[in-house]
Every structure is written in C-alpha cells, then in structure tokens.
A and B are shown apart, each in its own frame.
Chain A
Amino acid sequence: MAILEEPIKQVLTIKNYIGGEWVESKSEKILDVVNPATQKLLAKVPVSTREEIDEAVKVAREAFPMWRNTTPVARARYLFRLKELMEERFEELSRIQTMEHGKTIDESRGETRRGIEMVEVATGIPSLMQGQLLEDIAVGIDEFAYRQPIGVFGIIGPFNFPFMVPLWFAPFAVACGNCIVVKPSSEDPISQTKIAELSEEAGIPPGVWNVVNGGRDVVTGMLEHPGINGICFVGSTPTGRDVIYKKCGETGKRVIAQCGAKNFLLVMPDAVLDGTIPACMTSFFGNTGQRCLSGANLVIVGEGLKEHEFNAFYDKIVNAFVKAASEIRVGYGLDERVQMGPLRDKEKKQRLVGVIQKGVDEGAKLVLDGRNIKLIEKWPHDAFLNPAVFTEVAPDMYIGREELFGPIANIMRAKTLDEALEIIHNNPYGNSTAIFTQNGKWARKFIHDVKVGNVGINIGIVAPMAFFPFAGMKQSFYGVLHGQKESIDFFTDRKVVIQRWF
C-alpha cells in the first residue's frame, strides 16, 4: 500500500503572526522540526525573544477595543468562515499533523475533526454568551447580568496534539470578544501556523489572533506581561503546577492548567473482550501513548470470583492484551496499514527506553519488550518504539505511579472493585479512567465513587466533546474552569446591573 501524499514538499521557515503580519523572528536561535518517522527536516522554527512576545501582546491589546465592539453575531460569522476553510483543507491539515507529530492518519483526522468541532461550538456564541435577566426584583426594578470579554489571553500548546489543543481555547476566547496570543509547541509548530493562515484567510482582523513561536522565554513573557489577562496551558504537571499556576496566582491572571495523568483502566470479570481489547489498544497505544487520556495501568479485577477463577481470568486478559499489543503494526502514519506511529522525537524514545529498563530493575515482569523494533516498511529507528507490556506492576513502582507518556502498559490486579478504587485514589493524578463491564451496579458505583475527572464506561479514551467541559481532578488540573465550552465563563467577566427608572 502506498504512503499517502505528503503535503509538505520543502523545508518551511516558520514565522510569527503578529498584528496580521507574518514576521520573521529576530532570534538567532532556530530549531529544526523533523518528521519523526522519516527523520526528514520539515521546518525551521524560531525561539522568539521577549521583545517579540511583548510586541504581540501590544498589538493584541490595541485590537481588543475594536474586536470587543464587533458584535457576537459578526464574530461568529468569522468563525463560520474559519470552520469552512478548515473543512476544505481537512485532509491537508491532517496529513501535516502526521508529518510533524508522527501519529497515524486516522488519529490525525480524529484530531482535525475534534479541533473543528471546537470552532463549530464557538460559532454558537450569540446563544452561549447570553446573560440573565429578572424583571421586577422589586416593583419597577429589573436586574440583569452580562458577560463581557476581558482582554488578551495567552494559549500555550503541547506537542502531543499540535492542532487540536490550542483550539480547546482559541475559538471560544475569540468568539467571546478577546484577542489571543498562541504559543505552539516548538516541536511541532506547523499546524498552528496553518490555523493562523486560515484565520487570516477568514478575515479575522489583525491583532485578534496572534502566534508567537518559541520556548521558555515566550512562556515567561506571557506569564509576566501585565497585558495578558489569563493563560490556558496544557502540559506536564510540574510545569503546570509549579510555573504556570503559581505565576498566574502571583500576577493575578486567570488560569486553566490541564496537566499530567496516570490513567487506570479496570477490566471486570464480565467485560466483553471483543470490544474491551481493541478499546485498550487504542487507549494504551493510540497516539503512541502520548496523551493525557491514555491508559497507563490496566487493573484486572476479580470481583465475585474465587481465587482460582480470578487467576484464570487474569491469565485470559493478560494473554489477550499481550497478543493484541504484539500484533500492532508500527510505522509511518501516512501508511494506512499502520496502527501506531513513532514517538515525537528520538530523545523521547531514549527516555522511554530508560523507563522500560527502570521497570525491569524495579522487579516488574516485561512480557512484551517494545525495544525490539519491528516496523511496517523500512524507516529510521530513531524515534520508534513498539508496544511494551509489564505485568506484576505494583502501584508504587515508578512505572506504576508516574506519567510515562509512551506506549508502555502496566498490568495490575485487584481482588475487588473497592481495592481497585483504592489503587486509583492513592495515585496523585485524576485525569481519566474507565471501567469495562456489563454490570450496571459496578459501573454506577465506579462513576459515583471514583475521584477522577473524565470517566469511561466501556470507553478507553474518554475525550469529552467540545460542548462538554474537559474535566480533570487532583494533580491533573489547576484552576477552576475547564477548557472547551466551559471556557466561555473563563473568557468573560460578569457584570450585574440593577435598573430603576424614576
């Protein structure tokens, strides 16, 4: 089967998009963006300077009065146009994600669809942004509340979903009448450049939608800039908690920090294996395990089983899981036969090679060694790992406790659902979890008791739609309001008016 045509034919020079202009950075520090599957150079991206982020914030603030006075209906129409352009370029946008990130084409198209879904929902802003009114709080006196835009927001994107994640926030911020400065991950910045190009083509006025590429200096510049009213961040817990959340607290900025995860998937004795195993493969190895909703620990639960029955059930699940994982086809994501792509870069692979060794050293049993590389077609092995599976993993081992962010699955056992819940609750993260069962009572108890933000019942990747909040608890989330539709409250101030006419 042929590789789908690559949309990037020559090395791109990534520019910043500031005030409606494509501006070459003055920075001397330039990074390479490399296709992780082929190791071919795709683009050169600048590590922009503090002055450049300052300039972007300045033009965003200048554009704000004009944009906030553009009616919600008119703002929605700009977004309708943006959505149309994204639909027209759907396939190109998807293939770019595969090229710059490594994910499979199915996964990239899924990311594009979910990104567009955010824009779609944000086009409903004339309804979504409405306030409230009560006539006659006393005779002849009315009270009402508006939502008003606030100013300028910074959006800091992660490498694992280069297209979609900034769109959890950007279209809602803009629809509400704010201006934005997006900092894409410097590892895969091309998707956000393309989105900015489409925002320009859609006619969104200069200064409303800005993109500044870079690293720590740009983030620090955003965090310290008094002209930025709030920050949306998706990334690791140490950065989200110790840098973003802390600094936003110090500078009085609003903050949404969606952070790391260690997600537990429970398999109950009555789980339907034909559905459970593919769902687990998607959850543990989809996006090459590089997502905050990925399964990390599979807990096989022996609720209601005698010991010998539980042992037999455990073996059955382990065998089915390991067999399916060993058959996953790994390769370049633009090959439609491929089910799992490479890691984003070779440094990430090297880190995970070390993590696998750490698991072995801790005493877990490596039943499938992903370090043995087997690929569909010949590609440089630099960033590739195959799926790895550990059994006999204790929850307090490094591999059982910490976020690994790669295609490594740990299998554990719990005698009862209560014991499984205790294992989950002893972990500091609370992003996502799932239970595989046909038993309504177990599922209901799980939904009710588990202290985790996104809960799946027979769903391995609990990715909330744009019109629901993207939840998260404990060390997986810092802030009050979440991304997606709920962010409308984040991006607006409430103004309450009590009115009487003499």
Chain B
Amino acid sequence: MEIVTASAAVGYIGKVEENSAKLYENLAQKHAEDGETFLSLAKENRRNKKSIEYAYYGIISDKLEACFCFKNLDTDNYSIKTELPEGIGYPDALRKLIDMEEKIQKFLLDAAKQSGSLVPDVSWIFERVGKERTKRIAKLKPLLDKVAR
C-alpha cells in the first residue's frame, strides 16, 4: 500500500502500534517469565499511538502539506508483520519481534525524513518514536540471548 497523505500514514502506524501492543500482551500471557517486559512494551505501543495521533490531530491545518507529504512510501517495502506464525518456538518468536521492531523503526524514520517540514509535528514525533525503537530492541535482545543459550 503506497502512502501519500498524512491521514493514511498516521492511520497505518496507529494500527501497527495497536496490533503490536496486542501481540506483546499475548506473549506476556504465554511467557510469564518475561511478562513484565512484554507488558511494558505494549504500554509503550499505546502511548506511541496516542502521541502520534495527538501530534497529527493537534496541528493539522490547511497551511501544512498533509495531502502531499509522502512520496514512494510503500508499506509493502517494509513487510511489517504484527502476528506470529502458529506454533512458532520462543527463540524464533523473539527473532521475529526484533525484526518487526527494526522494520517499524525504518518505516518511521523514512516517513519522518520524507515529511520533514511539510507536516513538522508529525515528522518530529515519527522520528522520536522511531529512534526510541532502539531501546525496545535492546530490551528484546537479552531475552533472546537468554533462551538461545
């Protein structure tokens, strides 16, 4: 799906954050030993969704280029999957989560770069949420190290 408008970008990333939150909540139930980490990630997903929507709905105005702020931003190029295959083992699940976070990060940073000063508040929040993904990945990697040992 090619994204050209701010509405489509905010709607898409909002769904990604919500679906990721649900994924982490499910994992917290399945893997109680790491439940706290997963729940904190899910909480952050919902906070991110709110922050992005707040930035968009708070500043959207006809003086900004909301309908013309993205070019060649195609979600198909990122293949962000917020579901895990049935019966996947825990180490593979963690690898997929790290991969998902990296792809979301790339999408957010690319979107931030493209929209730049055209919808500056949205671009700013995309960049912030994108950069913070590094910390999320850093939380997931030790879990993988632990189970892969």
| Residues of A participating in the B interface, judged by any CB pair closer than 8 Å | 1, 90, 104-107, 109-111, 113-114, 274-275, 278-279, 281-282, 286-287, 291, 293, 324, 329, 336-340, 459-463
Contact = CB atoms under 8 A, between A and B. Distances in A.
8 contacts: A106-B5, A106-B66, A106-B67, A107-B62, A114-B61, A282-B64, A324-B68, A459-B63
* Interface majority SS (helix, strand, loop, mixed), chain A: helix
A266 B8 CA distance: 31
A275 B117 contact: yes
Contacts of B69: 278
Given A110-B61, A329-B4, A337-B4, A286 B67 contact: yes
- Which of B7, B61, B66 has the most CB atoms of chain A within a 10 A radius of its CB? B7
B65 interface: yes
Contacts of A274: 116
Nearest to A113: B60
A438 to B, nearest CB: 13
Contact of B7 (A106, A281, A459): A106
B68 A110 contact: no
Nearest to B115: A278
Interface string B22-48: 000000000000000000000000000
B142 interface: no
Nearest to A277: B68
A462 B63 contact: yes
Interface residues of B, number: 24
Contact of B4 (A111, A291, A339, A463): A339
Contact of A110 (B8, B11, B64, B116): B64
A90 B58 CA distance: 11
Contacts, number: 82
A461 B5 contact: no
Pairs of residues from A and B, 8 with the lowest C-beta to C-beta distance, nearest first: A106-B66, A336-B8, A278-B68, A339-B67, A282-B65, A278-B65, A463-B63, A110-B62
A277 to B, nearest CB: 8
B147 interface: no
Contacts of B60: 106, 109-110, 113
Contacts of B5: 104-106, 336-339
B118 interface: yes
Interface of B: 1-2, 4-8, 11, 57-69, 116-118
Contacts of A461: 62-63
Given A275-B116, A286-B62, A324-B68, 5 more contacts: A104-B5, A106-B7, A110-B62, A459-B63, A463-B61
A110 B7 CA distance: 11
A9 B1 CA distance: 28
A90 B118 contact: no
A385 B133 CA distance: 43
Contacts of A278: 65, 68-69, 118
Contacts of A105: 5, 7
Contacts of B4: 329, 337, 339
A113 B4 CA distance: 21
Contact of A113 (B58, B116, B117): B58
B11 A336 contact: yes
A318 B64 CA distance: 22
Contacts of A90: 57
A106 B7 CA distance: 6
A113 B64 CA distance: 12
Contacts of A337: 2, 4-5, 8
Contacts of A324: 68
Given A113-B58, A339-B4, A107 B66 contact: yes
Nearest to B61: A110
A1 B1 contact: yes
- Which of A106, A109, A460 has the most CB atoms of chain B within a 10 A radius of its CB? A106
A268 B95 CA distance: 51
Nearest to A287: B62
Contacts of A459: 63
Contacts of B66: 106-107, 110, 282
A110 B63 CA distance: 9
A329 B68 CA distance: 10
- Which of B5, B62, B65, B68 has the most CB atoms of chain A within a 10 A radius of its CB? B62
